[in-house]
Amino acid sequence: MRNIRTDLAIEAKEIYQKESGGRISGVNVEEENEGDIKVSRVRILDEVGERAMGKPIGTYVTIDIPEVTHYDSDTMDEVSEIMAKVLTPLASLDKSMTALVVGLGNSNITPDALGPKVISKLMITRHLKELVPDSIDEDIRPVCGISPGVLGTTGIETGEIIKGVVEKIKPNLIICIDALASRKMERVNRTIQIGDTGISPGSGVGNKRMEISKRTLGIPVIAIGVPTVVDAATMANDTIDLAIDEMIKQSTNGGEFYNMLKSIDKNEKQRMIEEILNPYIGNLMVTPKEVDLVIDSLSKVIANGINIALQPALGLEDINRYMN
């Protein structure tokens, strides 16, 4: 695939199919609707699919969020329930097993603050199970959380911090939450991806750090992410394509010229746009202006989805009462 920044498996599949013009060997895709919410499952089955997609063998589930989610509490609860339904079979734990939830990202940068915000809304119970076991329901699972910050502010690799915590408390499962990068603006803040292959923080914005996965930590790692940014050069490339398509439709003469523009190799066009933009804007990523509101609502959706999945003995109403 050409060098387009995306962390979403569903987008990697779309890009590969568009460029190859056919089905991807070693990759299985299923789609279903939960009411108005679309759920897509991309399963990378073997090394052939892994090479084609540029992602490890495993399962990636994408939940498309309705546009009204950020303003409607009922829709937020519905998305949380669907997310929990997806997460539960991946987070297969006995009630005595401990889950460690990690909020990746920089809390000082709003589009990158999703992980730390989720941790602040999570139902944390490990200390209660250890210190006051008689005061808490025996069916409550021990859950702990950490926001390790980023290398630029701590001077420590995030993966090193997580590895140290894992060695000390010995959890049975890790759930990582991170902000992602998307290929398309319409998926920014509108998609939740859940995968069972771990995560490489910062990879979507060209800042790849130490891998957080079962291979590096020795226990299962589930990654949950929402694309909060899109690459400016990619967005400019798409805008040019849309403009050319519109010119072709409206052209009474000169259509051949526009068709010639459209036939320019996509790799060349992408490279040219990056070269033109780089002296002026550098490595720019774009996010919507209402990102503060969106990150706040998404953190509630994801935190409750995790809470429901990790605490099956409690309903959403009980969880909300606990958090308040």
- The answer on pLDDT for 43 being more than 90 is yes
Q: Quick one: pLDDT band at residue 1, thresholds 50, 70, 90?
A: very low
Q: Quick one: pLDDT band at residue 78, thresholds 50, 70, 90?
A: very high
- The answer on pLDDT for 2 being more than 70 is no
Q: Which of 179-183, 243-247, 294-298, 313-317 has the lowest mean pLDDT?
A: 243-247
CA distance 296 to 40: 24
In this prediction, residue 201 carries a pLDDT of 66
In this prediction, residue 255 carries a pLDDT of 62
- The answer on pLDDT for 248 being more than 60 is yes
Top pLDDT among 320 and 121 is at 121
pLDDT tens sequence across 85-143: 999 998 888 878 999 999 999 999 999 999 999 999 999 999 988 888 888 888 889 99
pTM to 2 decimal places = 0.85
pLDDT tens sequence across 184-236: 888 999 999 999 999 876 554 555 567 899 999 999 999 999 999 988 877 88
Top pLDDT among 161 and 242 is at 161
